[in-house]
A and B are shown apart, each in its own frame.
Chain A
Amino acid sequence: MLCALALTPWFLAHNTAVNMEARGIQSGFDFLVQPAGFDIGETVFEFDSERPYWRAFLAGVFNTLRVAITGILLTTLLGTLLGIGRTSHNLLVRTVCTVYVEIFRNIPVLLQLLMWYLVLAVALPPFDAPYNWGVFQLDKNGLAWMVGTEGDTLFTFSPEFLAVLLGLTLYTASFVAEVVRAGITSVPQGQGEAAASLGLSRGQTMRYVMLPQALRVIIPPMTNQYLNLTKNSSLAVAIGYPDVVSIANTALNQTGRAVECIAVIMTVYLITSLATSLFMNWYNARAALKER
C-alpha cells in the first residue's frame, strides 16, 4: 500500500513526460524570460508588453496582494463590529447582524462577486457623464482620484477591483462575525458580571475585558478566514480583474505550458498561505495564556 502511494506520483509524472514528448509539446520554465506580448489592464507597478513573463506574473501577484490586504483590513473591521453586534443587548442591532450573517454566509461567493459586478456595471455613471465629487471621479472606469486637468489620475480603482473587494469583504465578514462571536461567548460570563459590578460600561467591558481574552480563541479561526479570503480572490478571473490566476491563464494560453503555469499559481498560493500561517502562529504565541 505504501509502495502504491509512493509510486503513484512517479507514475503520473512519467506518463505526463512520455505523453508530452510523444506529441512534441515543449516544456520547461524558459518561457519566463520571453517578452509577454500582452498588456495588463491595471497594475501596481509599471508593466508593458515588452517585459518578460515573470514580470507579468509578479504584477499578478501584486494585484492579488492588493485586493487581499485591503480585503483583510476591511473584513476584520466589519466582521468584528458585526460579531460584537450579534452579542448586543439591543434587539434591533442583534437582529440586523444575525440577518446579515445568515444571508451572506449561505450564498456562494462566486455568485456574490458576479452580482456585485453586475450592480456596479449597471449603476456606475457612463463615460460621458461622470459623477464628480471634489477630486474624486466616479464613472464606468471606476473610482479615480483626479490630479490636474488632462484627466490624469493619482490612482484608479477599477470596477473589477471594487466588485472583488466588495464581494470578498462582505462575504468573509459574515464568517469573521461568527468567529468573533464564538470568541466572545467563550469568555466566562463571570468576567462580564465582574466588570459590571466594577461599574464599567458595556463598551468599556468589551474593550478592556472581553476582547483581549477572546483574542486567544479568535486568532486560529481568524487566520483561516484570512487565508480563505486570499484564496477566494482567485475567483477574480471570472469578472476580469487581472490577479495572478487570470494572468497565469493568459500565459497558459499563449505559450501552451499548462503544467508550468498551474504550478506557478499553486506555488504562489502555497507561499502566501505559509507566510500568513507563520505570522499568525507567532502572534498566537505572543497572545497565548502563559501557563505555569
Chain B
Amino acid sequence: MSTFTPIPPRPAPSSTVGPLAWLRANLFSDWPTSLATVSIGALLLYWIPPLLDWGLLRASWRPDFDACRVDGAGACWGVIAEKYRIILMGRYPFEEQWRPLLATILMTALLVASCMRAFWRRWLVLLWIGVLAAFFTLMYGDILGLTKVETDRWGGLPLTLLLATLSIAMAFPLSLLVALGRRSELPAIRSVCTLYVELVRGVPLISVLFMASFMFPLFMPQGLTIDVLVRVLAGITLFAGAYMAEVIRGGLQAVPRGQIEAAATLGLSYWQTQRLIVLPQALAAVLPGLMNNFIAIFKDTSLVTIVSLYELTGALGLALNSDADWRPYKIEGYLFIAMIYFAFCFSMSRYSLWVERQVNKGKAR
C-alpha cells in the first residue's frame, strides 16, 4: 500500500494576502473608513513634513544664537546646548554640579532596579535606605568634605525625582492606613479618614501647596521653622495619600468576604489577616490604578514652581526669562523638558502594563 500524501495546501486567494489586501482590510474597508483614512492622511502630510523640517532639518544645534537668528533658520536646539546645566540642575552651584548628577543617576538606577524581578529580595529595603541617605548626603553636603548647599538651591531634575519618589514612598503607608481606616468599625476612625480623603480630593493641589508653603509656619510654635522643601513634601504626600487611599479602598472591596472569614477561622489576628491575606489580593487588583497615581504625582511635581521651588519647569523659566538673547527660543526649551517628562511617564506606563500582565498570569487561561 502506498502511504497517503495529502496534496500541498493551495495558497490563499490573492485578494486576501499581500500588502494590497492588508491595506483594504485595515484602511479602506468601507466608505467612511476610506474617507477617514484619506482625510487624516492628507492632514498628516500637510503638517508633519514642515514640522520635521523646522525641528530637524533646518534646526541649528550649536549654542550660537547668531546662527539661530539667521532668516529661515529652524528650531534653535542650541538653546539647550547653552542652558542645559541650569535647566537640569537649577541654581545648584556650578562647580558642585557633579553631586546632583551623581545623585540623580543613583536614584534612577535604584528606581529601575526596584522594577526588576531579580532585585525583589529582602535587602532591597536596605538598598533604598542606603541610596536615599547617599542622595541627601550628596545634595546637602556638610560632611565628608563636601560644601554645604542649602535646600533652596536644589533644583531641576534631581528635585523632581526627589519630590516624586519621597512623596510616593511616604504616601503609600499613609494611604494603606487610611483605606483600612475607612472600612473600620470604629465610627471615629472611619469619619476622620473619610473627612481627610474627601477634603483633600475636593481641593486642587495648588491650594494644598499654598497652604503648606505660606501657612504652615503660622501653624507651628514660634521659633520652630520647617524647611520649605519639607513643607512642600508634606503637602504633596498628604495629597497623594488621599488619592491612593481611594484606589486601595476599591481593591479592598474587591476581596471576597470569604477570605476574611476563612482567615478568622484559622485564628489570624486583624493585622495578620490584612498583611497576609487581604492586602496582597487587594493591591494586585488595583495595581494599574496605583501606577496611574504614581504617574500623576510625578507630573504634579511640576506645580511646585508656583511656590518658588525650581524643579524642572521652574528651572527653565529661571534659565530663559532673564536672558534676552535666548528668550525667543523658549518653545524649544519647553519641548525639551516635555520630552524628559514624556520619557519618564511613558516608561512608567509601559512598566505598569508589564506588571499587569505578570499579575494576571495566574488568571490567564
Choose from A16, A203, A231 the contact partner of B219 (Cβ within 8 Å): A16
Interface status of B115 (Cβ within 8 A of chain A): no
Closest to B181 in A: A5
One of A47-55, A131-139, A265-273 contacting the partner: A265-273
In the assembled complex, which residues on chain A have CB atoms less than 8 Å from the CB atom of B41? 92
Closest Cβ–Cβ distance, residue A129 to chain B (whole Å)? 20
Given the known interface contacts A234-B204, A266-B207, A269-B202, the answer about A106 and B214 at a Cβ–Cβ threshold of 8 Å is no
Choose from A6, A89, A111, A266 the contact partner of B302 (Cβ within 8 Å): A111
Given the known interface contacts A5-B192, A118-B331, A273-B202, the answer about A92 and B37 at a Cβ–Cβ threshold of 8 Å is yes
Closest to B295 in A: A106
Given the known interface contacts A203-B32, A258-B215, A266-B203, the answer about A22 and B303 at a Cβ–Cβ threshold of 8 Å is no
Interface status of A2 (Cβ within 8 A of chain B): yes
Interface status of A238 (Cβ within 8 A of chain B): yes
| 0/1 string, A240-277, CB within 8 A of B gives 1 | 00000100000000000011001001100110011000
In the assembled complex, which residues on chain B have CB atoms less than 8 Å from the CB atom of A93? 33, 36-37, 40
Given the known interface contacts A90-B33, A107-B338, the answer about A20 and B218 at a Cβ–Cβ threshold of 8 Å is yes
Q: Name the interface size band of chain A.
A: 35 or more
Closest Cβ–Cβ distance, residue B280 to chain A (whole Å)? 24
Q: Is the CB of A105 within 8 A of B345?
A: yes
Given the known interface contacts A90-B27, A92-B40, A111-B302, the answer about A237 and B345 at a Cβ–Cβ threshold of 8 Å is no
For window 117-172 of A, CB contacts with B under 8 Å fall at 118-119, 122
A259 to B189: give the CA distance in the assembly, Å: 27
Choose from B36, B201, B207, B218 the contact partner of A265 (Cβ within 8 Å): B207
A2 to B342: give the CA distance in the assembly, Å: 43
Given the known interface contacts A5-B192, A118-B331, the answer about A235 and B349 at a Cβ–Cβ threshold of 8 Å is no
In the assembled complex, which residues on chain B have CB atoms less than 8 Å from the CB atom of A245? 204, 206-207
Choose from A107, A201, A270 the contact partner of B342 (Cβ within 8 Å): A107
Query: Given A106-B346, A201-B30, list of 16 further CB < 8 A pairs?
Result: A15-B221, A22-B222, A89-B29, A93-B33, A93-B36, A103-B342, A106-B342, A107-B338, A107-B341, A118-B334, A203-B32, A231-B203, A235-B303, A245-B207, A266-B207, A274-B202
